[in-house]
Amino acid sequence: MMKTNLTRRELLKAAAASGVATATMSFPFVNALGSSPLSVVDWGPPWIDNTKKIAANWGKSDINWTLHSGGAASILPKIKAAWPNPPYDLVDNWSPVFLSMIREGWAETVTLDDCPNLADVPESLISKDADGNWKNIPRGTSGVFFTYAPDNCPIEINHIDDLLSPELNGQILWPNPTLNTNLQVVALAKARGGDEFNMDPGWEFLVELAKSGNIGRVSANTSDVITSLETGETCVTFVDQGTLSGVKGTKLKHLTKTDESLKTMLFVSGWVVLSSSTNKELAFDLANYTINKENSELYYQEVGEVPVNGTAEHGIEHLRFSGEEAEKYSVIPDWDHLGKELDGWNKRFETDVVPLL
Amino acid sequence: MNALNRQIDNLGLWLVWLIIAVTLVFLIAPIVVSILMSFDARSYLGRFPPTEFSFHWYERFFSDTYYLNGLKTSLIIAVIAAAVSTFAGVSAAIVLDRYDFPGKQAIETVFLSPLVIPAVVVGFALLLFFALIGVFQGYPRLLAGHIIITFPYTVRTTLAGLTGIRRNLTEAAMTLGANEWQAFWDVTFPLARTGMIAGAVFAFAFSMDDVAVSLFLTSPDTYTLPVAMVSMMRTNFDLTIAAASVILMLFTIVLIVVLDWIIGLERVIGGGVYRS
Amino acid sequence: MKNYRGAVLLMVPGIGIVLAFLVLPLANVVEESFRLFEPGRIGAAKDAPYTLFNYAELLNTNYLYYFVETARIGLIASITGLILGFPIAYFITRRLRAIWRKIAIGFLVGIMFISTLIRVYALQLTFGPTGIAKILSGLLGVSMNGRFYTELIVIFGLLHYLVPIAAITLLGTIQNINPRLSEAAQALGASRWMAHLSITVPLCIPGLLSAFLISFTLCLSAFVVPMILGKGKILFVSNLIYARFSEISNYPSGSAISIIMLVLSLAIIYGVTYVVSKRLVKY
């Protein structure tokens, strides 16, 4: 079995390589890059604007910028397709995707020598591989939570069951499972006594929501969220802190400490230096530079996440939980599990939920 | 009877007028809206109509290397893809037009098949295939994608142009002593030129427009303008996209004028016999 | 003899392109579609075992829903496109003087050539919440976030290029019909309206069919229109494939959907063409 498949693949490869490669390689601009600039992947505004500003002050290298399109996991197939020579050095990403990258062996180990500023970061926030090596450079911690625009919303939202209110017809912006690694359904499950390992209560809740006609749009990216909330198309959603800083025209009330049924999911975001990078030193240097005290404060002001650098000041009250509050309102999900379930969850969303919308 | 007929006529005529008018408004209004919005002076995406006008979205477009890179790549890809497709398409069409051989119908069907194969399938297939053979640069992948989706247009328009040419002209030239290839270059080629040019223009236009195939085949430093626009629509839905649209529309207008100038629009779409 | 060698040489670029950029890649997709996907990974492993799972999974009635929805919305849009495009084509060929005819055709070609993205973006600005969504949905008595309005906007998105394409395809057909025929019918006492329905329209059937086929093909493979205008609630099969690639990296499943979609669209198009050409030969 395996043998036939190998030969077939090789056959295809040989047949095609002769034709395609020779036909296309001869174009002069393909290999035109001389000295290679640093290649950085980031989210759209506010992240990329902030990183660009910091990188301009840093100034040690030219930078090719790439935007994540859609969910942060969408960069993975692109890296996979190009491995071992993916065209990126430094990738801005978050908790669940860190684990995928570590599992694939793409994340370079980082030490205090590479990034001295990590000394100011609590070690518990740094992702590690099975041997305990540090694998990323965190920038911020943040949460994904329910929020709504009281001015555009016909009712006051105090409990998760308010989402089912008939008055909210068409008013909910529901993220599809590839956004937030489907934490929104985990949150629904939590409210009905389940969790990420027991998701059925969450799906049942979501099916009820879909049937109620309250879901006005399914968001698939940050611009959907920002545009929909800003234009008043919808007024309730489940969203991460960073995306919200893009919403400028609409006043929002964050439901982080409102009721036990409305959970906030906590995560870490930050840099991964790809182990394939030929520019590691520069990549580490830039990453290190972004988490110094001043830049961490800038990150808080512009992106709105809580900087991981303990020396930096911030004022995000709705994400500052006391021990008791953290127990009551917040959840730190099992990221590794989420990554593995995503395929099945996405299919379940396609089969069970979308047809009802 | 006649009075009734006239009433039915009038009613029908009004209905038709109404359909035409509403359809035209529907076709034009969104374009006008996005043109006007591209001059919106507000710094955010506000409601239509804009209250004040300015060029700042255009300034943003022309100062944003992301869009400009996309535009440059789009132009390079479209020119090369149109050239390659036209060369291959014209060659193939000549054979399909002039020779009879077993399997000819099948080959023609296969050549035209990219027209009916969903673009997403083509893009997905090319992505997997290039990963398999280890090609990851944007240019070769995008070129391959754009060549395969524009190729059928050039085959079809050239075929349409060639079948319109009466064989006897070529045959007359041959009885006058020209050999077959000479007859082709001197007689057939100039007459078929319109079909070829139309094919090349179509190829260029469709290459400039493509999203579904390109989305799979870009690399970080090589992406087309439409892909850049999709990317911006998904991350930062602002009016720079409207400015980019207006600029792309200018290209469209230039293309149409060129098309009309070289061959005449009515010939492009194929004229009929009875005209009023 | 010499000429045949020339002919073969001329075919080489075309055959090479189709082989390298279409046939081999599609063969690879077929192979990938039978691979087992392990969740959490990116694509199938090199030595993943073969399986029918990726196809079996799509037999779920809720996946058939996407194929049916794509076809249903496509059908509505294609037929509406013909109904709106026909009068325009007729008007241009029969009512306009040469110079205006040229301008009208230029306009249609222009609208047809406009990038899909521009179109979709323009429609989003116009019929979305920044535009007349509230007013139009109010007039129709529906919610602007409801299923009906969303579907309407997706159909608008499709119509915006189907109408010019249908009109342009029909121009030639209508020009080929002798106007005397319907004049004759009117002389025999038919109303002008009836004369059209009974004479012009039947003569246009081949043109209408080819316009329909072109429209329907475009609808089946529509991707950008539902992606931007469907609010995530209306997904075409193309969008499912893209999600498999970009968001969850399940290449084998994406491949299986691609193959099914490919087979279905080819079957529909060549099936309809075959039936139609058989029918038309009879007349």
pLDDT score at A242: 78
> Domain spanning A37-141+267-318: which CATH class is it, in words?
alpha beta
pTM: 0.81
Give the pLDDT band of residue A134 (cuts 50, 70, 90): very high
Q: Has residue B43 been placed in a domain?
A: no
Of B20, B26, B88, the CB nearest to C17: B88
Q: Has residue B254 been placed in a domain?
A: yes
- Average pLDDT, integer, range A39-60: 89
Per-residue pLDDT at B189 exceeds 80: no
Task: For residue A49, give the chain B residue with the closest CA.
Answer: B236
Q: Do residue A340 and residue C40 have CB atoms under 8 angstroms apart?
A: yes
**Fold assignment, A142-266+326-356:** D-Maltodextrin-Binding Protein; domain 2 (3.40.190)
Q: Do residue A24 and residue B144 have CB atoms under 8 angstroms apart?
A: yes
DSSP readout, A323-357? HHHHHHHEE---HHHHHHHHHHHHHHIIIIIGGG-
Q: Which domain holds residue B144?
A: 58-268
Q: Has residue B120 been placed in a domain?
A: yes
Condensed to tens digits (0 to 9), the pLDDT of residues A194-245 reads 888 999 999 999 999 999 999 999 998 888 888 888 888 899 999 988 788 7
Query: Residues 216..275 of A with a Cβ closer than 8 Å to B: which?
Result: 220-224, 226-227, 230-231, 246, 248-249
- Average pLDDT, integer, range B227-254: 84
Residue with tokens 């316009």: C211
pLDDT score at B156: 85
Query: Residues 40..69 of C with a Cβ closer than 8 Å to A: which?
Result: 40, 42-43, 47, 49-50, 57, 60, 62-63, 65-66
Q: Do residue C231 and residue A218 have CB atoms under 8 angstroms apart?
A: yes
Residue of higher predicted confidence among C99 and B142? B142
Task: For residue C180, give the chain B residue with the closest CA.
Answer: B274
Give the pLDDT band of residue B267 (cuts 50, 70, 90): low
Of A12, A77, A342, the CB nearest to C43: A77
Which one of A285-294, B109-118, C134-143 scores highest in mean pLDDT? A285-294
Residue of higher predicted confidence among B44 and C74? C74
- Average pLDDT, integer, range B34-61: 84
Of B44, B136, B237, the CB nearest to A249: B44
CATH number at residue B215: 1.10.3720.10
Per-residue pLDDT at C247 exceeds 90: no
Q: How far is CA A316 from CA A73, A263, A301, A303, A304, in A?
A: 27, 17, 10, 11, 8
- Average pLDDT, integer, range C78-89: 92
- ipTM over the 0.90 cut-off: no
Q: Do residue A1 and residue C50 have CB atoms under 8 angstroms apart?
A: yes
Question: Where along chain A do the CATH 3.40.190.10 domains lie?
Answer: 37-141+267-318, 142-266+326-356
Condensed to tens digits (0 to 9), the pLDDT of residues A156-183 reads 999 999 999 999 998 999 999 988 889 9
Per the CB < 8 A criterion, the answer to whether C58 and C254 are in contact is: no
- Average pLDDT, integer, range C253-258: 91
Which one of A95-109, B143-157, C120-134 scores highest in mean pLDDT? B143-157
Q: Has residue B51 been placed in a domain?
A: no
- Average pLDDT, integer, range C158-180: 85
Per-residue pLDDT at A109 exceeds 90: yes
Q: How many domains does chain B have?
A: 1
CA distance C52 to chain A (A): 15
Task: For residue B84, give the chain A residue with the closest CA.
Answer: A23
Q: Has residue B275 been placed in a domain?
A: no
A-chain CB neighbours of C62 within 8 Å are: 350-352, 355
Give the pLDDT band of residue C225 (cuts 50, 70, 90): very high
Of B44, B76, B234, the CB nearest to A221: B234
* Domain architecture of chain C: domains with CATH: 60-282 (1.10.3720.10)
- Average pLDDT, integer, range A46-50: 87
Give the SS3 label for residue A258. coil
- Average pLDDT, integer, range B96-104: 83
Q: Has residue B48 been placed in a domain?
A: no
Q: Do residue C220 and residue B118 have CB atoms under 8 angstroms apart?
A: yes
CA distance B257 to chain C (A): 8
Closest by alpha carbon to B130, among A17, A121, A50, A136?
Answer: A17
Task: For residue B32, give the chain C residue with the closest CA.
Answer: C122
pLDDT score at B191: 67
Cα gap A20→B145, rounded to integer Å: 12
Q: Has residue B6 been placed in a domain?
A: no
CA distance A171 to chain B (A): 19
Give the SS3 label for residue A292. coil
Is A66 at the interface with chain B, CB within 8 A? yes
CA distance C156 to chain B (A): 9
